[in-house]
Amino acid sequence: MPKSVIVHHVTKTYKMYSKNSEKLLDLLSPRSHGKSFYALQDISFDANEGDVVGIIGVNGSGKSTLSNIIAGIIPPTSGSVEVHGETALIAIQSGLKGELSGRENIELKCLMLGFNKRQIKEMTPQIIEFADIGDFIDQPVKSYSSGMKSRLGFAISIHIDPDILVIDEALSVGDQTFADKCLDKMNEFKARGKTIFFISHSITQMKAFCEKALWIQYGQVEQYGPMENVMPEYEKFIKKYKKMTKEEKKAFQNSVRQKRMIEA
Ligand SMILES: Nc1ncnc2c1ncn2[C@@H]1O[C@H](COP(=O)(O)OP(=O)(O)OP(=O)(O)O)[C@@H](O)[C@H]1O
């Protein structure tokens, strides 16, 4: 099976400042100020065409950072991502422009992806119908609820027909009817052999939809393989973590945080 995504030693660090003056010093002086933090550390894996990969991990482990890097929204600090085909990210904050109306956002996104005016004219009614947000389509997106933004974002991304679809928690904010409609579309994509990365807090959705699981644990790959192998291990970890006392949890989190800090 041909590879569609190859992630090679990807690291993403963010600067952390304890006060504003530190940030200013870091900008102005040649010496580095503040600490850096590994959001992702040396991530390597690949996906084949037709793979449906669930990205799992506890809060803050780096799932959204990774999905943004795969979709080309943010660059890695080091390492590389090789993507064969067009990628689309569907996330709650999926880059819609708040000042523009839903209709204008459809046009802008399609223009940015290289569609011509005629194609956009053809696609727009289908996108509007799928989003199903009524008259809001002509209102500025900043007046939308998170569910409405997600509907519009999903509708646009699915209709531009990407080769690689990255879905980050976008189904968590809509209602069940819309989630079912999206799952139908995602199954259609799956059947057409497209690559899908799926992030969801619903383990049931993960198990039902994904064949592979990529477990990110505090910025690193803990396990990658068939869902039926990885998910039980992840669930074991969650169970063990939940059983810890408050103090044990705190100590564990501190030790993990420490490992992700890089001194200036
Ligand atoms: N722009 C940023 N600046 C600084 N730190 C960031 C930034 N974006 C993410 N981080 C940090 O990187 C780590 C990974 O964040 P990320 O949002 O990727 O995790 P996640 O697994 O998606 O979490 P969740 O399940 O809570 O959405 C977190 O500790 C987060 O605080």
Structure confidence at residue 213 (pLDDT): 97
Domain membership of residue 220 (yes or no) is yes
Task: Return the best residue to mutate from 11, 14, 146, 199 for the ligand 1 pocket (most ligand atoms within 8 A of CB).
Answer: 14
Domain membership of residue 114 (yes or no) is no
Domain membership of residue 24 (yes or no) is yes
Domain membership of residue 181 (yes or no) is no
Domain limits at 233? 1-85+197-264
Structure confidence at residue 94 (pLDDT): 66
Query: Which residues, given as ranges, of the chain have pLDDT below 70?
Result: 92-94, 173-174, 263-264
Domain membership of residue 149 (yes or no) is no
Structure confidence at residue 27 (pLDDT): 78
Q: How far, in Å, is the centroid of ligand 1 from the Cα of 188?
A: 31
Domain membership of residue 153 (yes or no) is no
Task: Return the best residue to mutate from 63, 68, 220 for the ligand 1 pocket (most ligand atoms within 8 A of CB).
Answer: 63
Structure confidence at residue 161 (pLDDT): 87
Buried b (16+ CB within 10 A) or exposed e, 17-54: eeeeebeeeeeeeeeebbbbebbbbebebebebbbbbb
The one-letter code for the residue type at 188 is E
Among protein residues, the one with the nearest Cα to ligand 1's atom 6 is 14
Structure confidence at residue 264 (pLDDT): 59
Ligand 1 pocket, residues with Cβ under 6 angstroms: 14, 39, 57, 59-65
Structure confidence at residue 176 (pLDDT): 80
Domain membership of residue 222 (yes or no) is yes
User: How many domains does the structure of the chain reveal?
Assistant: 1
Task: Return the best residue to mutate from 40, 41, 65, 216 for the ligand 1 pocket (most ligand atoms within 8 A of CB).
Answer: 65
3-state secondary structure string across the chain:
CCEEEEEEEEEEEEEECCCHHHHHHHHHCCCCCCEEEEEEEEEEEEEECCCEEEEECCCCCCHHHHHHHHCCCCCCCEEEEEECCCEEEEECCCCCCCCCEHHHHHHHHHHHCCCCHHHHHHHHHHHHHHHCCHHHHHCEHHHCCHHHHHHHHHHHHHHCCCCEEEEECCCCCCCHHHHHHHHHHHHHHHHCCCEEEEECCCHHHHHHHCCEEEEEECCEEEEEEEHHHHHHHHHHHHHHHHHCCHHHHHHHHHHHHHHHEECC
**Tens-digit pLDDT profile for residues 91-134:** 766 678 999 999 999 999 899 888 899 999 999 999 999 999 99
Domain membership of residue 136 (yes or no) is no
Q: What is the CATH number of the domain that holds 58?
A: 3.40.50.300
Q: How far, in Å, is the centroid of ligand 1 from the Cα of 36?
A: 13
